[in-house]
């Protein structure tokens, strides 16, 4: 049904320009006011990356400006000697000392500019590394619930795609702004010495170009900012068309045409927006260049008038022409650098704002320590709501887990089982209510310390593109004995025995010598990962989802054996596996509706009995 309307959700084209008025009032004065702040932020970033290279860049650029001014003043001496009366050879000889000074100034300026460029090129990779480390250091520390917030995702998208990439460019543009400003200051000083009237002429030829550059930057930023949600969805569709994981299902369900239609709908609408942007930017540049041409003509008219009324000598006028041309070049560079700094600074500001928001989402330091062991874990009146959700995922849930027990959470999909397990493991914090290990409130405990004492075997475990060893140890150094013991308990030792390089085998076929595992084999690796942690609390969230019946039975036997003296929380839909749990909690729409052992719950003839009977009937 190629003509069927597509449901595009947040890709709806009418929403693409929801933020287009964000910078509608931004003009040149606003940019000028923001410029010192942007330069300061960029220089602070450069200073943190490398003090030596930052100092070298600034100092050498300042020296370049000094040599520029010196060369222009020496040029006045050259022209004065050449325009004086007398034989040409005598005038040339009189100009030679000034010519030598001009050459020396030009040579020195070229040398220091080369040195400044070298120092600046060293800064770029250092700034990039520093920025990336800051971003990913924060994204790996923020509270997990942030990843359930669409606004956080949009901010992260802006920071990753443009903000980080613009960090070194912002530093480069800031240095270019400083360099151009030094050049203008040198020219302005020379013109001020020659004649005060010459100074305002610098502005006439370049202000129109400055207006056009600022206008163009504002158009581009507002357009790209509005396209962020669509770009994110377009990238997701592209991943579905090009990634290995969905490739089989794309073919099995003949999804190619549908996905291409969806991609084309987004891409065409994005294309129309970008073509419109190109048209508006071209018009702004044409207006700026036309006005700039009029300004340049006016400069030469004013110089001609000054010569006609003998307000300046011919030599000074010649130097003024050179100085104004140099000033025009510096001012044009300044406008270009300012334009780039402002535009890149907008994206860099997105990065800084995301970092500030991420820092607010990083859990504050906590003083209490996790108990060495616990006699019981008690969750009291837990309520939790996901960002943007209208209804809570958990409503006033209270449970108790005693040391050494095997506890099970059961219930239908969406009942809150996994959410409650994440709260107990310190991955989420409840909106209201408390979780205590003995008398210690987990809100007072460092989450990292708590996570060291818990292990989670998840159904949606990550298939790390690392070696088999690191997929189990996750970088911890507990030794070979712990590694082999965890693999044996999970049955992963049989999987690893068949790998070409054993524990050194890279588990990702996208890389050379990489090897791929089946879903059940990956499940055993994930179980070994949880056992290797040897934690006080082991949470098994659908640990047998990808296993066959024989492997499932063997794994549950291992979990029961492994739980001797340990505390295990089991989440599963396979109710035959929870019959021997010490206590079973039944969740329904975020609430605990039943609790007890298997026989108690069966006698209640409630939801648990209904679900168990349905599953048992399927095997009769």
Share of the chain above pLDDT 70, in %: 83
pLDDT for 412-456, tens place per residue?
888 899 899 989 888 888 999 999 988 888 888 888 888 888 888
Separation CA 146–CA 575 (nearest Å) = 33
Angle at 12 between CA 10 and CA 16, to 5 degrees: 85
Local confidence band at 210 (pLDDT 50, 70, 90 cut-offs): low
Q: Please, which residues have CB within 8 angstroms of residue 37's CB and are 6 or more apart in sequence?
A: none
Q: Does the pLDDT at position 309 exceed 70? A: yes
Q: Tokens for 10, please give them.
A: 């947040």
Q: What is the DSSP letter of 16?
A: T
Q: Tokens for 363, please give them.
A: 């859990």
pLDDT for 314-372, tens place per residue?
777 677 777 777 776 777 677 777 777 777 777 788 888 888 888 888 887 787 777 77
Helices (H) and strands (E) in the chain, counts: 20, 10
Q: Does the pLDDT at position 17 exceed 50? A: no
Query: How many Å separate Cα 527 from the centre of its chain?
Result: 31
Task: Provide the whole-model pTM.
Answer: 0.68
Separation CA 321–CA 332 (nearest Å) = 16
pLDDT for 504-556, tens place per residue?
998 888 777 888 888 888 888 988 888 888 888 888 887 766 566 676 667 77
CA distances from 122 to 48, 113, 333 (A): 13, 14, 22
Local confidence band at 562 (pLDDT 50, 70, 90 cut-offs): low
Q: Does the pLDDT at position 128 exceed 50? A: yes
Query: Which domains, from first to last, does the chain contain?
Result: 16-361 (1.20.1560.10), 376-618 (3.40.50.300)
Q: Tokens for 620, please give them.
A: 């009769």
Q: Tell me the average pLDDT across 52-62.
A: 87
Q: Does the pLDDT at position 278 exceed 70? A: yes
- DSSP notation for 435-478: EEETTEEGGGB-HHHHHHTEEEE-TT----SSBHHHHHHTT---
Angle at 367 between CA 135 and CA 387, to 5 degrees: 50
Share of the chain above pLDDT 90, in %: 8
């Amino acid at each position: 049904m190629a003509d069927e309307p597509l449901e595009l959700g947040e890709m709806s084209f009418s929403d693409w320009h929801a933020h287009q008025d964000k910078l509608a009032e931004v003009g040149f004065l606003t940019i000028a006011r923001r410029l010192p702040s942007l330069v300061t932020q960029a220089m602070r970033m450069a200073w943190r990356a490398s003090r030596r290279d930052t100092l070298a860049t600034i100092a050498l650029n300042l020296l370049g400006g000094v040599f520029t001014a010196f060369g222009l003043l020496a040029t006045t001496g050259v022209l004065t000697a050449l325009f004086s009366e007398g034989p040409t050879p005598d005038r040339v000889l009189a100009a030679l000392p000034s010519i030598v000074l001009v050459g020396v100034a030009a040579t020195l300026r070229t040398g220091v500019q080369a040195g400044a460029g070298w120092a600046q090129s060293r800064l770029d990779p250092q700034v990039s590394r520093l920025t990336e480390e800051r971003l990913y250091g924060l994204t790996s520390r923020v509270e997990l619930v942030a990843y359930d917030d669409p606004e956080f995702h949009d901010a992260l998208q802006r920071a990753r795609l443009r903000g980080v990439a613009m960090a070194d460019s912002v530093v480069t543009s800031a240095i270019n702004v400083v360099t151009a400003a030094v050049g203008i200051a040198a020219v302005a000083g020379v013109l001020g010495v020659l004649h005060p009237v010459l100074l305002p002429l610098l502005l006439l030829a370049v202000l129109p170009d400055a207006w056009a550059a600022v206008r163009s930057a504002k158009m581009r930023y507002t357009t790209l900012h509005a396209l962020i949600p669509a770009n994110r969805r377009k990238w997701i569709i592209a991943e579905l068309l090009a990634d290995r994981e969905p490739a089989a299902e794309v073919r099995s369900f003949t999804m190619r045409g549908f996905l291409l239609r969806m991609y084309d709908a987004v891409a065409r609408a994005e294309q129309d927006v970008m073509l419109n942007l190109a048209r508006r930017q071209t018009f702004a540049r044409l207006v700026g260049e036309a006005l700039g041409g009029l300004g340049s003509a006016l400069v030469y008219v004013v110089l001609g008038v000054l010569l006609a009324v003998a307000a300046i000598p011919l030599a000074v006028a010649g130097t003024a022409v050179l100085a104004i041309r140099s000033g025009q070049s510096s001012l044009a560079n300044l406008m270009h650098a300012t334009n780039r700094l402002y535009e890149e600074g907008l994206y860099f500001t997105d990065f800084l704002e995301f970092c500030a928001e991420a820092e607010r989402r990083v859990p504050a330091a906590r003083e209490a320590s996790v108990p060495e062991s616990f006699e019981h874990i008690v969750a009291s009146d837990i309520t939790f709501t996901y960002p943007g959700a209208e209804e809570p995922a958990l409503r006033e849930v209270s449970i108790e887990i005693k040391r050494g027990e095997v506890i099970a959470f059961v219930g239908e999909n969406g009942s809150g089982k996994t959410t409650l397990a994440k709260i107990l493991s310190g991955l989420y914090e409840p909106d209201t209510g408390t979780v205590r290990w003995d008398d210690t409130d987990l809100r007072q405990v460092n989450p990292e310390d708590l996570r060291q004492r818990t292990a989670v075997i998840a159904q949606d475990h990550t298939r790390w593109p690392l070696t088999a060893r690191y997929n189990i140890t996750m970088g911890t150094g507990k030794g070979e004995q712990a590694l082999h013991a965890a693999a044996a308990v999970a049955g992963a030792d049989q999987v690893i025995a068949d790998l070409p390089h054993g524990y050194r085998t890279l588990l990702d076929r996208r890389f050379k010598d990489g090897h791929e595992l089946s879903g059940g084999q990956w499940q055993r690796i994930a179980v070994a990962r949880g056992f290797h942690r040897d934690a006080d609390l082991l949470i098994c969230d659908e640990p047998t989802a990808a296993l066959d019946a024989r492997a499932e039975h063997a794994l549950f036997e291992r979990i029961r054996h492994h739980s001797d003296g340990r505390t295990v929380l089991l989440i599963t839909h396979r109710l035959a596996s929870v019959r021997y749990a010490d206590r079973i909690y039944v969740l329904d729409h975020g609430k605990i509706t039943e609790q007890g052992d298997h026989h108690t719950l069966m006698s209640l003839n409630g939801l648990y009995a209904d679900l168990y009977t349905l599953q048992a009937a399927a095997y009769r």
